Amino acid sequence: MNLDLAARTAVVTGASRGIGLATVRTLISEGVRVVGAARTITPELKDSGAFPVSVDLGTPEGAAALMEQASAELGGVDFVVNNVGNGDAMEPAGFLEIDEARWKDVFDVNLLSAVRVSRAALPGLIERRGGIVNVSSIVARQPSAGTVDYSAAKAALVSFGKSLAEEFGPLGVRVNTVTPGPTRTPAWEEPGGFGSKLAAASGSGHAEFLRGLPGHFGITTGRMTEAEEVAALIVFLLSDVAGNITGADHVIDGGLLKGL
């Protein structure tokens, strides 16, 4: 399928690894010029062909600086992928263990970063009839007791995307959400990441926990999602091939979510 994206431009946040890095690479393979934003610029992002920007999107100043640099580098932005999040840094914890500072940090990174970047980008997106994809998480649909703050922030992100789609759709800007289930990324696979923390909390070894994860979570396909599969869905939704899809939340979870 020809997505006809050559010479378009995009900003991807949380671009240093995982789903963000896979999205950068997929966009570039389609001929898109990309600014990849992250707090830490990894060698993989440097080598991807994107223009890397080191920025903290947990602050209003960070979002404004990102879009200023992106516009200067790209000459205008057609697409925004709000992927940044701190799921890999999350500590499984009960509600009474989570203090005010953690609630604020989780919402700053997972919700307000998208609010800030979208606000800065929308004037240009309206002019260019562009698009936004926000990356949520399956816990927005199926909240977890151990990540109540993260689940709430990601659910708010889905609602935010729906509202943006309704307001700016008549102006030519499409907004969609992609909601991945457990995805084979460093957050799950690296020692010290969220996956290893869950394994420790369950009393399992990390490798053993990952092997048993699809069965434990009830994933119909019997495997975790690959970051490249999520990236392919994101890029499809940005393209004109998906030109009448907006305001929707697209789940990619191997059948984990059983509800209608």
The residues carrying an active-site annotation are 150, 154
Do you know the residue count of the chain?
260
Residue 223 in contact with residue 256, Cβ under 8 Å?
Answer: no
Write the CB contacts of 149 (distance below 8 Å, at least 6 apart in sequence). 98, 102, 103, 106, 107
- Cα(55)–Cα(73) distance, integer angstroms: 15
- Cα(253)–Cα(54) distance, integer angstroms: 30
Tell me the angle at which helices 100-107 and 148-168 cross, rounded to the nearest 10 degrees: 30
